[in-house]
Amino acid sequence: MTDIGICEYVPAWANSPFAGDNLAPWFAVREAETIIRNALRKIGEEYSMDGEFAIHRTATVEVGVVLKGPGIIGARCYVAAGSYLRGGAYLAEDCIIGPSSELKSSFMFSGSKIAHLNFVGDSIIGSGVNIEAGAIVANYRNELADKAIRIKIATGVIDTNVEKFGALIGDSVRIGANAVVAPGALIAPGTKIGRLQLFDQYPY
């Protein structure tokens, strides 16, 4: 039940610096720091280093951003003031992190946007994804005694054997303002999640 391939949701993974890391998505985000550190060893001269963060020369990182590496910020990205990137963060080209947003142990692919006042934890975000203001991608089942992430899918239940995993978000997904994606979500490409909606795949 655990044969969920990242590339089924995010084809760009196959051509990314992480293509050789053929892990289930919940294991990939758990190993985000190691995976990104390995990619940093091959980073090009068009990047400058800020601690353990590689920042492309065409990217904009405003004053007041907190970067706790390792991480990579790609070409033409924009990271707004008050944002916090930590625990292994990867932004492909043309990504936007809006003001006062937090990205933790996550991978974002080209043209994706986190508007502002967002938290996204332990997730993989495909290309062309838009996450509106205030929306949360939660990564931990604080409300349950058993914190293990389980995901209900059409063919059964996936036991991930991890306690922290946010979501695998396919290309071109739209998540409305103040929506909540509960821990352990597999969101198919092109899905639209409405404003104030809860998206939860836990097998209650």
Boundaries of domain holding 161: 6-199
Tokens of 168: 């695998």
Note whether residue 49 is domain-resident.
yes
Note whether residue 16 is domain-resident.
yes
Note whether residue 85 is domain-resident.
yes
pLDDT at 170: 98
Of 30, 56, 113, 116, the catalytic one is: 116
For the chain, the straight-line distance linking the first and the last C-alpha, in angstroms and rounded, comes to: 18
pLDDT at 1: 43
Note whether residue 1 is domain-resident.
no
* CATH code, 156: 2.160.10.10
Q: How confident is the model at residue 18 (pLDDT cuts 50, 70, 90)?
A: very high
For 77, 178, 192, 198, 199, the CA distances from 195, given in Å and listed in that order, are: 26, 6, 10, 9, 11
Encode pLDDT of 60-87 as tens digits.
Answer: 999 999 999 999 999 999 999 999 999 9
Note whether residue 178 is domain-resident.
yes
Q: What is the largest CA-CA distance in the chain?
A: 50
Encode pLDDT of 117-140 as tens digits.
Answer: 999 999 999 999 999 999 999 999
Rounded to two decimals, what is the model's pTM? 0.96
Contacts of 148 (CB under 8 A, 6+ apart): 141, 159, 160, 161, 162, 163
Is the pLDDT at 30 greater than 70? The verdict is yes
Note whether residue 204 is domain-resident.
no
Note whether residue 182 is domain-resident.
yes
Determine the Cα–Cα distance for residues 45 and 151; give it in Å rounded to an integer: 41
Note whether residue 164 is domain-resident.
yes
Cβ burial, residue 21 (10 Å; 0-12/13-18/19+): middle
Encode pLDDT of 170-204 as tens digits.
Answer: 999 999 999 999 999 999 999 999 999 999 999 98
- Inter-residue contact 89 to 109 (CB < 8 Å): no
Is 116 noted as a catalytic residue in this protein?
yes
Determine the Cα–Cα distance for residues 186 and 116; give it in Å rounded to an integer: 23
Q: How many domains does the chain contain in total?
A: 1
* Ramachandran angles phi, psi of 37, nearest 5°: -60, -40
